[in-house]
Amino acid sequence: MQRFAQLYSELDATTATSAKLAALQSYFDDVASHAPQDAISMGRHRLSDAAWALYFLAGGKPRQVVKTSLLKAWAQEAAGIEEWLFEECYATVGDLAETIAHIVPSSPAVAEDVGLAQWVERLQSLKAMEEEAQAQQIKAWWAQQSPLERFLLIKLIGGGFRVGVSKLLVTRALAAHAQLDAKIVAQRIMGFTDSKQLSTELLTIKFIALCAEYTPANDLIGINSGQPYPFFLAHAWAEDVAQMQSALGDVSQWQAEWKYDGIRAQIVKRAGQVHVWSRGEELMNGRFPEIESLAEMLADGTVLDGEVLVIKQGLPQPFNLLQQRIGRKTMTKKVLLDAPVGFMAYDLLESKRSRYSLAATACKARSTGNVTESQRRLAALAFGASGRLASAGREAQRFTISRRGRLDAQAPRCSLWPRPHQSRWRVVEVED
């Protein structure tokens, strides 16, 4: 935990991107410098610490194992102070974990440095303890830690751990550590924080695969078979409008796509399994059975990028209908009838292991007006599937949704093109 606490301190002490990047790379170099085969044989290896660190740095959320009200009570007991004094300290500091970290006294004895992965396992073991046993164990841990380590432990116990670093920066640091192209790491890291399959062993294996040398043979196989591609998201133009043409090229070369009011998602069909991912890297299997059933018809090695929409009478509906489906664990017949969902496919990212988004010639059609192979196959998929899968390029000829939610028939005036994996696109949002 000491090395992770040092990293947290370094990240918290600076706003400079270069300093944060250097601190992250140094951490991975220090902790994940051993051979992968040693990690598998040794079990609790420092690579497991790196795997859990990546999980938290990339946005993974720890599960709360103890109520904060209990932590407050135990901290008052450990510090030997009245509740009113604790509340005064809390009001001054403004953060519960930081308050407890400073009021609880430390033992003069030097404690053993326990790695991050082992601390996570210790916290998971608290769930099976009675409340009194939890109190004794946590107070014993607090006494052995420095204020910074205590602060981090309380954040992990309470499920409120956050760190001020972007996922993009973490990806760049890990790519530098593993000596890989950052784009490859960005693709491999997708789904790393999925909490449905969370264990030290699995995270360690995924971390090893993430840092492995890139070859066609080890790309998107085995444990990574269900991984999506990084999502290309829209960004508002933040610079002077006069600079748009010089930065983005001549207007005649621009392409536009309709923006639908749904949930951005990718359907991944590999190794006979269907995975439906949200843009937030959340696995949505079970929430939209219609889409999963539809995806079963796709060939292995198919990845579609698009939007989950409520579709009635062939037209997409307002987002508030889709909200009836979000968060539900049980889909009743009424819910399925009131809010039937479909998938508006924007792009075919992969077809039988051929990744169109990585092809160097994927966007040549922008200047020639020719339809790409990716578009042809996407349209064929939509045509051959049921009515719940649609190609955005084709459906744009029938309707569009205005910002005020109206459905208007309109002639086609947009095209669908594959997104270049090695380019960064800027999307301009124009008011109606």
User: CA dihedral in degrees (77, 70, 60, 276; nearest 10)?
Assistant: 170
Q: What is the pLDDT of residue 78?
A: 93
Which residues, other chains included, contact 376 with Cβ-Cβ below 8 Å and sequence gap of 6+?
A: none
Which residues, other chains included, contact 272 with Cβ-Cβ below 8 Å and sequence gap of 6+?
A: 300
- Confidence band, pLDDT 50/70/90 cuts, at residue 429: very low
**DSSP code, position 286:** T
Do the Cβ atoms of 402 and 354 come closer than 8 Å? Answer: no
- Confidence band, pLDDT 50/70/90 cuts, at residue 76: very high
Q: Which two tokens stand for residue 410?
A: 């309109």
Q: What is the pLDDT of residue 174?
A: 93
Of the ranges 155-159, 176-180, 294-298, the best mean pLDDT one: 176-180
CA dist., res. 120 & res. 4, Å (int): 13
Q: What is the pLDDT of residue 110?
A: 60
Of the ranges 177-181, 382-386, 395-399, the best mean pLDDT one: 177-181
82 or 362: which leads in pLDDT: 82
**DSSP code, position 283:** B
Angle between helical axes of 17-31 and 46-57 (0-180°, round to 10): 150
pLDDT tens readout for residues 323-376: 888 867 677 888 888 889 988 888 888 887 555 443 322 333 333 344 456 656
- Confidence band, pLDDT 50/70/90 cuts, at residue 111: low
Burial 108-135 (b: 16+ CB within 10 A, else e): eeebeebbbbebbbbbeeeeeeeeeebb
pLDDT tens readout for residues 220-235: 444 457 878 888 877 7
pLDDT at 279 over 60: yes
**DSSP code, position 186:** H
- Confidence band, pLDDT 50/70/90 cuts, at residue 219: low
User: CA dihedral in degrees (226, 224, 221, 271; nearest 10)?
Assistant: -20
Sole residue written with tokens 């079990």: 43
Instruction: Determine phi and psi for 301, rounding to 5 degrees.
Output: 85, 30
Q: What is the pLDDT of residue 425?
A: 35
Q: What is the pLDDT of residue 28?
A: 94
Instruction: Map out the domains of the chain with their CATH numbers.
Output: 2-61+164-224 (no CATH), 68-158 (1.10.3260.10), 241-408 (3.30.470.30)
266 or 392: which leads in pLDDT: 266
Q: What is the pLDDT of residue 299?
A: 87
* Average pLDDT across the chain, whole number: 77
β partners of residue 305:
266, 347
Mean pLDDT of 117-127: 90
Of the ranges 32-41, 170-179, 328-337, the best mean pLDDT one: 170-179
Closest CA to 259 of 392, 417, 411, 388: 392
382 or 273: which leads in pLDDT: 273
352 or 205: which leads in pLDDT: 205
Q: What is the pLDDT of residue 16?
A: 92
- Confidence band, pLDDT 50/70/90 cuts, at residue 136: very high
For 58, other C-beta atoms within 10 Å of its C-beta total: 19
410 or 349: which leads in pLDDT: 349
pLDDT at 82 over 90: yes
Burial 192-201 (b: 16+ CB within 10 A, else e): bbbeeebebe
Q: What is the pLDDT of residue 383?
A: 46
Q: What is the pLDDT of residue 224?
A: 55
Give the Cα-Cα-Cα angle 48, 117, 162 (nearest 5 degrees).
105
Mean pLDDT of 270-276: 87
Q: What is the pLDDT of residue 86?
A: 94
Closest CA to 304 of 278, 336, 265, 335: 265
- DSSP per-residue letters across 359-403: -TTTTTHHHH-PPPHHHHHHHHHHHHS-TTEEEHHHHTTT-EE-T
Which residues, other chains included, contact 231 with Cβ-Cβ below 8 Å and sequence gap of 6+?
A: 264, 266, 279, 305
CA dist., res. 410 & res. 396, Å (int): 8
Q: What's the gap between Cα 287 and its chain centre?
A: 18
How far, CA to CA in Å, does 284 sit from each of 157, 275, 327, 427?
Answer: 26, 8, 10, 27
pLDDT at 408 over 50: no
User: CA dihedral in degrees (325, 326, 332, 338; nearest 10)?
Assistant: -10
- Give the chain's length: 432
Classify 394 in phi/psi space as left (phi over 0), alpha (psi -120 to 50) or beta: alpha
pLDDT at 202 over 70: yes
CA dist., res. 78 & res. 85, Å (int): 13
Mean pLDDT of 284-308: 88
Q: What is the pLDDT of residue 246?
A: 85
pLDDT tens readout for residues 45-70: 688 999 999 999 988 888 888 999 99
Q: What is the pLDDT of residue 355?
A: 55
Helix (H, G, I), strand (E, B) or coil at 185: helix
- Confidence band, pLDDT 50/70/90 cuts, at residue 417: very low
